[in-house]
């Protein structure tokens, strides 16, 4: 347990440094340097590097050691990489990328779900949409967000497309970010609850076109909210 906590700390610190650019591409790391920086054993340092190498943030090269890789090599769908980017100065670019990803897959996932969702999945969508309404109107944002996450996770699963299902984690990271950065106005937005209910009803009725249109409406609101928030950040910074 202690070793797990230790190498997790190493991974989080180095991963954040690499993704933010504080450790530049091409930098050669050594196990000795990691041991010294974090006061950990060689075993812990090696395990941390193994995890970062699995994310393609670093690679082991003969004669060069452990070398930091460029962004195009990273496992960009790894939830930790996404989180590190969101917590860095690259947050605007990551938010745009996540939103564009969602627009590219979620509307058609909803369309597919209208044809493929099981009764259990339809029930899960009804429950999630209902909880979004109850907790949103009550101002219980933590419970509202949990229901929102459950809703979008269920839509992707109900598409029964394994490629879409594999993208659940980055989508959920994007949904989780919305209360922090995705809205310049009051959150949750009543219209968003209406649109989630429209998606749910269309899937329950087997109406793929309506499900797709309603999901696109949700994501159009997200894109507008993120654009407004990023513009406000630019104005404040300026």
How confident is the model over 25-83, as pLDDT tens digits?
A: 999 999 999 999 999 999 999 999 999 999 999 999 877 789 999 999 999 999 999 99
Q: Are residues 160 and 202 in the same domain?
A: yes
The pTM (predicted TM-score) of the whole model is 0.84
Same domain flag for 101 and 187: yes
Query: Are 42 and 136 found together in one domain?
Result: no
Are 67 and 157 contained in the same domain?
A: no
The pLDDT value given to residue 184: 41
Give the CATH number of the domain where residue 182 resides. 1.20.120.530
Query: Which domain covers residue 174, as residue numbers?
Result: 90-227
Give me the pLDDT at residue 64, please.
Answer: 76
- Please report the DSSP string for 95-141 in residue order: HHHHHHHHHHHHHHHHHHHHHH--HHHHHHHHHHHHHHHHHHHHT-H
CA angle at 199 for the pair 196 and 205, rounded to the nearest 5°: 140
CATH of the domain at 19: 1.10.10.10
> Are residues 28 and 137 part of one domain?
no
Pair 135, 214 in one domain:
yes
Structural domain count of the chain: 2
Is residue 19 one of the residues assigned to a domain?
A: yes
Same domain, 177 and 112: yes
User: What percentage of the chain has pLDDT greater than the value 90?
Assistant: 78
Q: What is the pLDDT of residues 196-231, one digit of tens each?
A: 999 999 999 999 999 999 999 999 988 886 765 555
Residue 5 has pLDDT above 60, yes or no: no
Structure tokens at 142: 């933590």
Residue 21 above 70 pLDDT?
A: yes
The single-letter DSSP state of residue 70 is P
């Amino acid at each position: 347990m202690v070793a797990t906590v230790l190498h997790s700390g190493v991974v989080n610190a180095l991963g954040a440094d690499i993704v933010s650019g504080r450790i530049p591409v091409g930098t050669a790391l050594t196990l000795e340097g990691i041991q010294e920086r974090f006061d950990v054993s060689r075993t812990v340092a090696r395990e941390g590097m193994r995890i970062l190498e699995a994310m393609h943030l670093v690679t082991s090269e003969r004669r060069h050691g452990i070398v930091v890789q460029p962004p195009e090599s990273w496992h960009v769908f790894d939830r930790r990489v996404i989180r590190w980017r969101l917590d860095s100065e690259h947050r605007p670019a990551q938010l745009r990328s996540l939103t564009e990803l969602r627009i590219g897959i979620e509307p058609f996932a909803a369309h597919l779900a209208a044809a493929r969702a099981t009764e259990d999945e339809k029930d899960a969508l009804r429950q999630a949409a209902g909880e979004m309404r109850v907790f949103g109107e009550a101002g219980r944002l933590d419970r509202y967000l949990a229901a929102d996450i459950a809703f979008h996770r269920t839509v992707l699963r109900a598409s029964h497309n394994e490629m879409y299902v594999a993208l659940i984690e980055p989508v959920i990271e994007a949904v989780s970010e919305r209360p922090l950065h995705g809205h310049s106005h009051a959150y949750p937005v009543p219209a968003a609850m209406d649109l989630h209910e429209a998606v749910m009803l269309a899937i329950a009725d087997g109406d793929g076109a309506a499900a797709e249109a309603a999901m696109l409406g949700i994501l159009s609101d997200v894109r507008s909210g993120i654009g407004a928030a990023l513009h406000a950040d630019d104005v404040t910074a300026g």
